[in-house]
Amino acid sequence: MGRILIVEDEPQLLRAMRINLRSRGHEVRTAVDGGHALREAASHPPDLVVLDLGLPDLDGIDVIRGLRGWTRVPIIVLSGRTSGHDKIAALDAGADDYVTKPFSVEELLARIRAVTRRAGGAETGPVITIGRHRIDFAAKAVTTLPDLDSAQTPGSEPAPGSEPAPEPVQAPESVRLTPTEWRLLAVLVREPGKLVASRSLLDQVWGPGHADDTSSLRLYVNRLRRKLEPDPSRPRHLTTEPGMGYRYQP
């Protein structure tokens, strides 16, 4: 049992899978095209994705690449094509298994059980530190370590007879990243110290058709710097190679 995202543009098949998986106790969300699938996966991270390769907008392979930019969620591909080439391309892009259409519900359920067993249930991901921020990609959480230089600010004694000053609430500082910022950071940290070309970043984070949108990319990198870098005006961990791309420096 778990959260399953089904991506399928044929209404009858989508409905049949949704009913069958829900009746087995899975929590099911659905998407009818690739863009919808990527947004849905980012806003409601699933435990498993069932993905049709033939979608009206994106190629299913591009959806796999988009997901693999930031998650290791198991992906089972549905392929209606007779050519084995698509299945190979899907597996190479990061799919875990495939089912050839037409298939029985029992076969799909068996594949879901198999990839869930192999995935071991929990998703894992890297944990990195940028400045005082500990960034856990599996938990999608940023925790901020205390600033030792300013933690011990001496407080003044309350005047005699006055109300005791309330204890300062030490709320743990937290930084929130948006799904797009998580994806962008995930692509950069996958290759520490290496230059990642702007074009490649745009393709992996925003998908095909955005290869020239370098101003959006610059905007998002700057937002990550403001949230994470100790001195955002002089970035040390998320650096720019002018005219080429960006680099994550551990």
Residues that bind Ca ion (CB under 5 A): 9, 52, 54
Q: Looking at beta carbons only, is 21 or 202 nearer to Ca ion?
A: 21
User: In the complex, what is the shortest distance from the CB of residue 93 to Ca ion, in angstroms, rounded to a whole number?
Assistant: 17
User: In the complex, what is the shortest distance from the CB of residue 101 to Ca ion, in angstroms, rounded to a whole number?
Assistant: 9
Residue-wise DSSP of 6-61: EE-S-HHHHHHHHHHHHHTT-EEEEESSHHHHHHHHHHS--SEEEEESB-SSSBHH
Q: Looking at beta carbons only, is 77 or 184 nearer to Ca ion?
A: 77
Q: Looking at beta carbons only, is 99 or 177 nearer to Ca ion?
A: 99
Q: Looking at beta carbons only, is 54 or 208 nearer to Ca ion?
A: 54
* Amino acid at residue number 7: V
Count CB neighbours of 135 within 10 A.
Answer: 22
Q: Looking at beta carbons only, is 52 or 96 nearer to Ca ion?
A: 52
Q: Looking at beta carbons only, is 45 or 54 nearer to Ca ion?
A: 54
User: In the complex, what is the shortest distance from the CB of residue 53 to Ca ion, in angstroms, rounded to a whole number?
Assistant: 7
Rounded to 5°, the CA angle 207-212-218 comes to: 90
To the nearest 10°, report the CA torsion of 130, 175, 181, 187: 30
User: In the complex, what is the shortest distance from the CB of residue 67 to Ca ion, in angstroms, rounded to a whole number?
Assistant: 18
User: In the complex, what is the shortest distance from the CB of residue 9 to Ca ion, in angstroms, rounded to a whole number?
Assistant: 5
Name the residue whose CB lies closest to Ca ion: 54
User: In the complex, what is the shortest distance from the CB of residue 89 to Ca ion, in angstroms, rounded to a whole number?
Assistant: 16
Q: Compute the Cα dihedral for 117, 73, 177, 146 and give only its sign.
A: positive
Parallel/antiparallel/unpaired status of strands 97-100 and 195-197: unpaired
